[in-house]
Chains A and B, each alone.
Chain A
């Protein structure tokens, strides 16, 4: 690779490498409470990788006999994913369908990527995802991931008599 352009296209490749290692080497068997968040690498590739991962496991389980479940099952229990950069397909429903195929609407957590040049604004991202997913992706999934209570995240009200 000789351009930043190529590097940027291939960001997910590095994340895929680490994700496969986490699962294949039994990290989630050794640390069953561990949660992993994939950041800034997109998400529409996840179904393809997990389908492949499960298929390969069926034939190559002997190399990783410490795994007790399908790779996709470890992913579903332990991994969250941030939204930016959401893949932009000519038909947005194609991306939505891919994400839905792995129930990623329950695992995606909004991230803006501010102040990077390719950040995703909330208003824009909202147009690319079904409105029925917004409450989860913009709040509830992050609360579940980090153990926050949504009420605690409310903006503090300005005290009476103060300015600004």
Chain B
């Protein structure tokens, strides 16, 4: 387990980039949940965690849009590829994924389980 800081110091919906286990990892607080992924897009190795974070944008019917606030997504700043932060999977093709890192808050500290990572 790698301690990456006090949970209260993580700004909501903003990635913090940390070094852990020799990797750059982006750690995000989304309300009371935490997510962590490697800061490396599977497309062209861009710094995916520097991209825009939002709820998943969906469209039930042509011309309509809705935001699923329960599903945080990051869009890589280089080419816009979107990844579901819980599963790491690209929204348009699940065969592409960022590596996720198990993360949880323990006694007010944010802890990464490096080495167990990956996509589900």
Contacts and interface: CB of A to CB of B under 8 A. Distances in A.
Overall SS of chain A's interface: helix
Interface stretch (B23-31, B56-64, B103-111): B56-64
A59 B81 contact: yes
Contact of A62 (B82, B90, B93): B82
Contact of B59 (A27, A57, A64, A70): A64
A42 interface: no
Contacts, number: 45
Contacts of A60: 80
A65 B62 contact: no
A65 B57 CA distance: 6
Interface residues of B, number: 18
Contact of B62 (A30, A57, A62): A30
B61 A62 contact: no
Contact of B58 (A29, A58, A65): A65
Interface of A: 25-27, 29-30, 57-62, 64-67, 70
Given A64-B59, A66-B59, 12 more contacts: A25-B62, A26-B61, A26-B63, A27-B62, A58-B79, A58-B93, A61-B92, A62-B75, A62-B80, A65-B57, A66-B62, A66-B64
Interface of B: 57-65, 75, 79-82, 90-93
